[in-house]
Amino acid sequence: MEKLANAIDALNTGVATFVRWLALFMVLVQFTIVLGRYAFGVNSIAAQESVLYMHAALFMLGASYTLLVDKHVRVDVFYSKARPETKRRIDIFGHLFLLLPSMGTLLYWSWPSVRNSWKILEGPLSVGGIEAVFLMKSLIPAFCVLVMLQSVSLLIRLMLQRPTP
């Protein structure tokens, strides 16, 4: 089971290693857009949409890595002061009854929209934009699957931990 958890962690680390570069490209493209618009009077809807696409990919595909390294937003009152065994139980409950079901629900309800978008190869958001909205919509199920896999990995590790007395 630990090998499976390691493989999932490696997958999400690899995805994060790739998508983190989108942050740099996003800044460079946005700078180029602003420079082009205000210095040269040139504008590109496709370039503007590319920033949106990169932003969506960065956050949707990077969320599972954020879960892996435990840097996601955690709003709690009791968790920070809880004993390690209590934290372990809270985490197990959260993965089994909150995270996995919510990701499964999001995957289930978003799939028809993604499938239909692929069926018609849904075009740009704006006239002159990137003709690949179907690709951006595909980030939703990718997000769900990657987060669910990372949740399984974390659950495996939580179950392998020996409870402290």
pLDDT in tens, 109-118: 999 999 999 9
Say whether pTM exceeds 0.85: yes
Parse the chain into domains and list their residue ranges.
2-160
The least confident of 69-78, 106-115, 148-157 is: 69-78
Higher-pLDDT residue of 76, 29: 29
C-beta neighbour count of 112 within 10 angstroms:
9
pLDDT at 164 over 70: no
pLDDT at 41 over 70: yes
DSSP track, 79-143: GGGS-HHHHHHHHHHHIIIIIHHHHHHHHHHHHHHHHHHHHTT---SSTTS-S-HHHHHTHHHHH
Q: Could you tell me the CA-to-CA distances from 63 to 69, 74, 90, 120, 147 in Å, in that order?
A: 10, 14, 20, 28, 7
Query: Is the distance from CB of 30 to CB of 82 less than 8 angstroms?
Result: no
pLDDT in tens, 118-146: 999 999 988 989 999 999 999 999 999 99
